[in-house]
Amino acid sequence: MSNEINTEVMETFESMPILEEMKTSYLNYAMSVIVSRALPDVRDGLKPSQRRILVAMNDLSLGPRSKHRKCAKIAGDTSGNYHPHGESVVYPTLVRMGQHWSMRSMLVDPQGNFGSIDGDPPAAMRYTEARMTSVAMEMLQDLKQDTVDFIPNYDETRNEPVVLPSKFPNLLINGSTGIAVGMATNMAPHNLNEICDAAFMIMDNPDCSIAELMDVLPGPDFPTGGLICGRKGIYDAFTTGKGHVKLRCKHTIEETKSGKQRIVVTEIPYTVVKTNIVSKIADCVHEGILTEVSDVRDESDRKGLRIVVELKRDANADVVINKLFRYTQLSTTFAINNVALVNSRPETLNIKQLIIAYLDHRKEVIRRRTRFLLNKSQARAHILEGLILAVSDIDEIIELIKASPDAPTAKVNLMQKPLRLIETATLKNLLPEDFLNTMVQKDQFLTGPQADAILTMQLQKLTGLETEKLAKEFAALMDEIKGYQAILADEKLVLNMIKDDLQELKDKYGDSRRTEISDAFEDLDEEDLIADEETVVIISHQGYIKRMPIDTYRKQGRGGRGILGSDSKDDDFVEHLFVASTHDYLMIFTSDGKCYWLKVYKVPGMSRQSKGRSIANLLELGDEKIMSIKNVRTFDDRQLVFATRKGIIKKTTLSAYGNVRSNGIKAINLDDDDDLISVKITGGNDDILLATANGMSIRFNESDVRSVGRVSRGVKGITLRKGDEVVGMVKLEDGDTVLTVCENGYGKRTELEEYRTQSRGGKGIINIKVTERNGKVVGVLAVTDDDDVMMMTRNGIVIRTGLDQMRTIGRNTAGVRMIKVGESDVVSSIARLIKDDSEEDTDETVETAETETSETE
């Protein structure tokens, strides 16, 4: 039977709540990620991985003048010596520090494929090489002069710095990004010259405000340039540490030899991948969003970035740019979140606190360096004191050493021998007076280090010339010591040294700002994506609305049959036709005296034969009927003059209608048996002409009508005879003639002089003979010889004809035929096209009997 050995393992179990254990373990993990991996230190702006890469490169002596070394070697040394998370994690960090589109001032000088702004990955680390830039060397400067603390590395085989001395303000210049547990950082880069100027301001005036800092530091400066839209996001980030900055590309508009336009993008927003922009533009073209674009291509080369967007003929480049901003990454938002480690604790800092943290770090570095140099100088001066004493009595020193049996005994004998400096003319001139007095008047004893130095002293030091050198070196050291002591005693001297360092950085590495800042910025709305162009708007009697290009109608001779302007069905017919800009407001006045608003670009664009879309689908209308329409661009101090069918006239400032509401507002207070027929925009002192269906008219100056409030009734404009009603209102101007059109297609032009000015409220004078041939008056217009006129019939027939062929005749006449109408058809509306001499023939506006196009800005 074999012997069995029973080994009892003593185990200890501790009971504890699982929630408490999970909480403790998770917090430990979270703090490890926050402190040791994801967030930068506010002092040098580096994460541990970045700092360790630079330290490893410094160990390899990979300065800006050395040869490039394989990145595999750098990543391996970093991982093996300092960073225990694998070289595959180190290499991406190394690559980013060598990408000019990622870093405002690169810390790594790359050689080989380090990726591209197109999002291409870098080559494998065995193929690429790197070394440090001059900027990185500035961060490592004075590392060996006890300027920062060192701690053991992960396996305690060597020490690594907790932070770099960082003469270069890396965090402020290059920014940082990182995602920790429960928090993240996204710090924007800035311009070195501006950061230095801001630091100067804070050192000179510690109480300066953020607004004052922004005079010299206006905002971030991104490596890829671009345009910052607006300053509010910058101010928020600078004051609170959090803010959203709107970034846009820089672009120019070029014209090709064929007359087309192209948009050329030369700078894109920070962190945006160029190929994503090109592919997104192509997708928008295929999806019908960018119908104006004919081609997009990437023409970037070593000279710079260049994305070309070719436009179709007659495309509006500004509208395309706005669409590109809306649908692509040519416009992005950079969310600033200034979270950094302060004394190993994450804090959100504003721009002034970040600069102060850098300055405090530099103060500490300079003080520690000064103390290190002071201790070193004092130690050397102490040795020199002993050497000088020994040389002055060298014969006895030599005899004493010769008589000693060994070196330790010689050292003891030296330390026990009293020495006194023999003053000479040379020493008196070179050595400080207080030192001479002490050494000459009293015996001195050597210390252990001094005795060691004498024992190791070379025989050549015994010459008179070497003695003089020792004295000069001692005197220089004493001056240095006094300088170091002064620096440690006076903070102003420390600040002056920081200023000198920053000025040196400006001179060596400063460059001009790359990112422009625009003062004004408004978010893109739907209107920015619509071309500002003239269109014809048609509204039928039953409330169907549509818009069409102005060139839909070709010019015809007087008396022609015209073309079909709308596909009328059943008892529907065209009631309103006018020309308006796509960015205008349509002010729609209804039968119950309300006013609604509708942007012209929201009116559906349709063909000439289409019926249109019900306006009830576009507005929140009730049972009321549309009676008059105005289109305006801005609501200013001009006047709105209202005319009703019962002869009431009212005048109100246009600005009273500027409060746009989706459910409309009360525009005029109407009598129960009255309705609105026309609205005009006037300048406040224009002549007004009212025309009635039975051929009467009255002319008076609008100054006779007092301006009243928005919901007022108004006053009497004309006294109507029994069975008559007002059918039109005209605003008269010098050079105009009055065109009157009757329902059977007859009309006439009459000079303004034929219409004498009367007092408001009279019965008026004859305007045109109303006969069975003519029919009743449909409307009146103020026209000139250069105008064209459009006439619409109830069945939807439209004719456009020039008035240069139509001579003027008297008031009390019947007129001539202007349009042939069918037996069951009558003229329902007329409109005037006013040509602008400074534009081409296609640039026209329309004035109708029921509607009028106002002046647009």
What residues act catalytically?
Answer: 127
Lookup: tokens for 270: 């920070």
CB 52 within 8 A of CB 78: yes
If we measure between CA atoms, which residue out of 367, 371, 342, 343 comes closest to residue 495?
367
Rg over CA atoms, the chain:
45
- Please provide the DSSP assignment of 257-318 as one string: TTS-EEEEEEE--TT--HHHHHHHHHHHHHTTS-TTEEEEEE--BTTB--EEEEE-TT--HH
Phi-psi domain of 282 (left: phi exceeds 0; alpha: psi -120 through 50; beta: other): alpha
Strands 176-179 and 827-835: unpaired
CA dihedral of residues 290, 296, 300, 305 (deg, nearest 10): -20
Residue 501 contacts residue 203 (beta carbons within 8 Å): no
Q: How many CB atoms lie within 10 A of CB 37?
A: 17
Query: Measured between alpha carbons, how far is residue 789 from residues 478, 533, 827 in Å?
Result: 102, 21, 13
The answer to whether 99 touches 106, Cβ cutoff 8 Å, is yes
Residue type, 799: I
Count CB-CB contacts under 10 A for residue 659. Answer: 10
User: Within 10 Å of residue 10's Cβ, how many Cβ atoms?
Assistant: 4
Q: Which amino acid is at 765?
A: I
Report which secondary-structure segment, H or E, holds 333: strand 331-337
In this structure, the chain runs to a length of 857
Around Cβ 202, how many Cβ atoms within 10 Å? 17
Helix H or strand E segment including 665? strand 665-666
Nearest CA to 54 out of 81, 16, 20, 85 is that of 81
Q: Are strands 626-632 and 613-614 parallel, antiparallel or unpaired?
A: unpaired
DSSP characters over 156-184: SSSEEESS---SS-HHHHH-EEEE-SS-E
Distance CA 736, CA 751 (A): 7
> Around Cβ 140, how many Cβ atoms within 10 Å?
22
- Can you read off the two tokens belonging to residue 475? 């005197």
Contact call for residues 462 and 391 (beta carbons, < 8 A): yes
Q: How many CA atoms lie within 13 A of 40 on its CB side?
A: 28
**The Cα angle at residue 90 between residues 84 and 93, in degrees rounded to 5:** 140
Closest CA to 759 of 678, 707, 712, 703: 703
CA distance 853 to 832: 10
Q: Could you tell me if residue 261 is left (phi over 0), alpha (psi between -120 and 50 degrees) or otherwise beta?
A: beta
Q: Kindly state the tokens that stand for 302.
A: 């070593």
Of 808, 676, 688, the residue nearest 740 (C-alpha): 808
C-beta of residue 654 within 8 angstroms of C-beta of residue 679 = no
- Residue 501: helix, strand or coil by DSSP? helix
b or e along 779-788 (b: 16 or more beta carbons within 10 Å of the residue's beta carbon)? bbbbbbeebb
Contact in structure between 362 and 498 (CB atoms under 8 Å): yes
